[in-house]
Amino acid sequence: MAAANRPTFRGSGVASSDGIVIGYIQKLAAGRHPIPERTIEHAGIPFELQRLDSALQKALKELDEEQEHLIGLKTQEPLLILEAHRMMLLDPELIQKVRQLIEDKQINAEWALRQQLDAIGLVFDEIENPYLREKKSDVEQVGIRILRQLMGQSLKLELPSGSEPQILLGQEFSPQDIVTLWRLGIAGIIAEQGGMNAHSIIVARGIGLPALIGSDNILDKAEDGDAIILDARLDKWILNPTGQDLEQYLNFMAAFEVIRIELEQFADKPSLSRDGKALPIMANLEFKEELTQTHHVGAEGIGLFRTEFGFLQSHDMPSHSTEHQYRDYSHIIHSMRGAPVTFRLLDIGGDKPALFQQLSGYRYGGANPAMGLRGVRLLLHLPELLKHQLTALLKAAEDGPLNILVPMVTSVEEMEQVRDIIEACKQTLGVTRHIPLGAMIEVPAAVMIARELATVSDFFSIGTNDLIQYTLAADRGDEDVGPIYSPDHPAIYQFIKMSVKAASKAEIPISVCGELAADPGWTQSFLNMGMDSLSMGLNSVLTIRKHLSHLKYQADSD
């Protein structure tokens, strides 16, 4: 496979998605493409303004098409990123200033847009906050969407004939590029530029495209047609691999396929330890389209259904109509054929600014979104929004077993307020049956008052992702404190154990729905603690069920 007389190079990246691909290189031109710079007569201004408006509408239509292709993914992050781009495209301030440049300077639309993007970029360069400064690239990518339409350009790519996988090399790829390349059938991408939290790599992970970014100098070493191994699982690449490299990776890929086939045998088996102790394994879902896969892996229910995506898809913002929500929730319940479904109430904050603005009506201004107006705090701040969602859930509860989970709980009063609103909604609807209401344990304060919370909750669900983040004061998205964000810190085990004890004393069920639920290293601990269920991403259900089948229950002595 290796090209004749071509040297072998090995390298790595700073961030990746997942997967292994053996294929051939195709390079894309790098750098900023030149744009036409023209002065125009006064009579030509209306035409340029019309071109600008038309390009904007085409860019929005293109974004809609991309979002349609992303529906059904196992994560909502790519859609939230594209929705943030939509908000920027619709920001009247951006387009109005471009229009003003066209009129005042009498220049063509491309030149006016480029000047405005450069001016915005200079403002971002002066921002001290690194998180906000990174938003410069989002504005640039949104501007390029419009520029491409103005210039009649798109990311055009002619793949060589044949079935060999093609791996694209470039300086940088935008989220739009990633989606386009994925739709064209590209097997993987490698970019020289980009960091751990680049939106392009988040999108690549979401769509399952093997990708590696931050791979310095690979463009200088590679030529079109070179063979390459892209190992996005271990963040590395091998250009013009040796025969030994190829043999090793082909064996890896064959072994993974054997493992996949073996795991499928556990799809129709109960979640039991070797000595018969049950630990039901449920699914974390975000999309209705994942329901088929939920049945395929034999998940014993939905332990966490994130409702944010339904709001993202809706055209009924900001309230998102009760009827629209009810249809979605009812469909999910019917699809689960009597298995329990736990719906988490809307959990949104300043970390997702586009959706936050649509729902709340104003832009998030807090310096730390993770500790700001989010979860139940936002819902109680917007009671009409909460009433819409609770009404839809209560109606859907008539169609099958349904639980309601409250996110970001820090006090008994928050649970009582939500329960009061539920009772008011039930009275309006004439609903008399009890609907279980649970508290999400994801803040140290909730752990410390778990016994009190248990008196106003019907169940607990531990969100370990945020629990680790808040306990260790380490942002899980910040690469500089990555080693600190660790579930191995003894405080994490103690907090989980305290929560289990409080639930046991109150005789209410408790589950884990964070990423630790899918960590085989924790399965024995959860089994021994007496955890009632685990809920995880669909890709982990069979792995954990198989692992559980080899364990023996050993009740904790304390």
pLDDT digits (tens, 9 = 90+) for 431-449: 999 999 999 999 999 999 9
Strands annotated E in 376-522: 402-406, 437-441, 459-462, 510-512
Residues 104-113: tens digit of each pLDDT: 999 999 999 9
Q: Which of 108, 124, 150 finishes a domain?
A: 150
Confidence of residue 18 (pLDDT cuts 50, 70, 90): confident
Confidence of residue 140 (pLDDT cuts 50, 70, 90): confident
Q: Which of 259, 281, 304 finishes a domain?
A: 259
Work out the mean pLDDT of the chain and round it to a whole number: 86
| Lateral strand order in the sheet of 20-27 | 9-12, 236-239, 227-231, 20-27, 166-170, 188-191, 211-213, 15-16
Residue 36 lies in a domain: no
Residue 388 lies in a domain: yes
Q: What is the pLDDT of residue 192?
A: 87
Residue 418 in tokens: 């939500």
- The CATH number of residue 211's host domain is 3.50.30.10
Segment 501-519 mean pLDDT: 95
Q: Residue 308 pLDDT more than 60? A: yes
Q: Are residues 334 and 480 in the same domain?
A: yes
Residue 1 lies in a domain: no
Q: Are residues 300 and 193 in the same domain?
A: no
Q: What is the pLDDT of residue 507?
A: 97
Confidence of residue 64 (pLDDT cuts 50, 70, 90): confident
State percent of the chain over pLDDT 90. 50
Segment 396-409 mean pLDDT: 96
Q: Are residues 146 and 178 in the same domain?
A: no
Q: Are residues 284 and 242 in the same domain?
A: no
Q: Are residues 410 and 354 in the same domain?
A: yes
Confidence of residue 365 (pLDDT cuts 50, 70, 90): low
Euclidean distance between CA atoms 61 and 124, whole angstroms? 28
Confidence of residue 35 (pLDDT cuts 50, 70, 90): confident
Residues 262-276: tens digit of each pLDDT: 899 999 999 999 999
Measured in whole angstroms, the distance separating CA 343 from the mean position of its chain's CA atoms is 17
Q: Are residues 402 and 523 in the same domain?
A: yes
- The CATH number of residue 307's host domain is 3.20.20.60
Greatest mean pLDDT among 65-74, 206-215, 475-484, 487-496 lies in 487-496
Segment 51-55 mean pLDDT: 91
Q: Are residues 76 and 20 in the same domain?
A: no
Greatest mean pLDDT among 2-6, 49-53, 320-324, 520-524 lies in 520-524
Q: What is the pLDDT of residue 364?
A: 59
Residue 556 lies in a domain: no
- The CATH number of residue 49's host domain is 1.10.274.10
Q: Are residues 440 and 480 in the same domain?
A: yes
Total domain count for the chain? Answer: 3
Q: Are residues 485 and 369 in the same domain?
A: yes
Q: What is the pLDDT of residue 320?
A: 54
Euclidean distance between CA atoms 321 and 57, whole angstroms? 26
Q: What is the pLDDT of residue 315?
A: 47
Confidence of residue 23 (pLDDT cuts 50, 70, 90): very high
Q: Are residues 27 and 112 in the same domain?
A: no
Q: Are residues 451 and 504 in the same domain?
A: yes
Residue 496: burial class (beta carbons within 10 Å; 0-12, 13-18, 19+): buried
How far CA 317 is from CA of 84, 298, 320, 356, in Å, comes to 15, 35, 5, 11
Greatest mean pLDDT among 55-59, 207-211, 308-312, 454-458 lies in 454-458
Residue 4 lies in a domain: no
> CB–CB of 407/376 below 8 Å?
yes
Indicate whether this model's pTM tops 0.75. no
Q: Are residues 197 and 129 in the same domain?
A: no
Euclidean distance between CA atoms 118 and 417, whole angstroms? 48
How far CA 358 is from CA of 13, 87, 159, 323, in Å, comes to 36, 9, 40, 19
Euclidean distance between CA atoms 168 and 21, whole angstroms? 12
| Exposure b/e, 395-410, CB count within 10 A at least 16 = b | bbbeebebbbbbbbbb
Residue 105 lies in a domain: yes
Residue 2 lies in a domain: no
Segment 360-387 mean pLDDT: 79
Pick the range with the lowest mean pLDDT from 145-149, 344-348, 473-477, 478-482.
478-482
Residue 64 lies in a domain: yes
Segment 521-535 mean pLDDT: 97
Q: Which of 130, 150, 170 finishes a domain?
A: 150
SS3 474: coil
Q: Which domain, by its residues, includes 66?
A: 42-150
Pick the range with the lowest mean pLDDT from 12-16, 111-115, 330-334.
12-16
